[in-house]
Amino acid sequence: MKMEFLDATGAGEYPNASPKLLIRLSEFTNEEKLNLINSIEKIVLEKREILKLHQLPFIERGNCLINLKLGEKDIGLLTSGSNREYTCLLSPSAYRDMIEIIKNVEEGHNWLTPGEYLDEPAFLISKWGPW
């Protein structure tokens, strides 16, 4: 599974892209998808600990660091440290929704955070890369 930070404007080629910045999970096997689901369920929802996606052995870390953290309300992605380090802060309900989205993504793509939290960067899953 590949994880990367993208400038959707194509370095200015598509200035009206919305959202302009993305964090994308892509190029994954069914086994990697199930491993991600199990990690979210066990670490975030059951243990209530921070899941560092970039440290999972099946994720090919690109140019960003992503932490999944349980919150009382849905915030979405927040800058949390160094350049391109983000924390995704969502409620248990929103993480359960995220798990369902991951389970059901096939050939297309889908947003991993609720629609009202598609601020920049947005969090996306896409089987083959394009969205």
24-68 confidence digits (pLDDT tens) = 999 999 999 999 999 999 999 999 999 999 999 999 988 999 999
Fold assignment, 2-126: Gyrase A; domain 2 (3.30.1360)
Compute the half-sphere exposure of residue 10: CA atoms within 13 Å on the CB side of its CA.
6
AA identity, residue 39? S
- pTM for the full predicted model: 0.88
Q: Is the pLDDT of residue 75 over 70?
A: yes
Q: How far is CA 53 from CA 4, 20, 86, 90, 124, in A?
A: 11, 22, 11, 15, 14
**H/E element holding 2?**
strand 2-7
The domain spans of the chain are: 2-126
How many CB atoms neighbour CB 55 within 10 A?
11
| CA angle, residues 27, 109, 4, in degrees to nearest 5 | 50
CA distance 40 to 69: 10
Q: Is 72 exposed, middle or buried (0-12, 13-18, 19+ CB in 10 A)?
A: exposed
**Cα Rg, the chain, nearest whole Å:** 14
Q: Is 29 exposed, middle or buried (0-12, 13-18, 19+ CB in 10 A)?
A: exposed
Q: Is the pLDDT of residue 10 over 80?
A: no
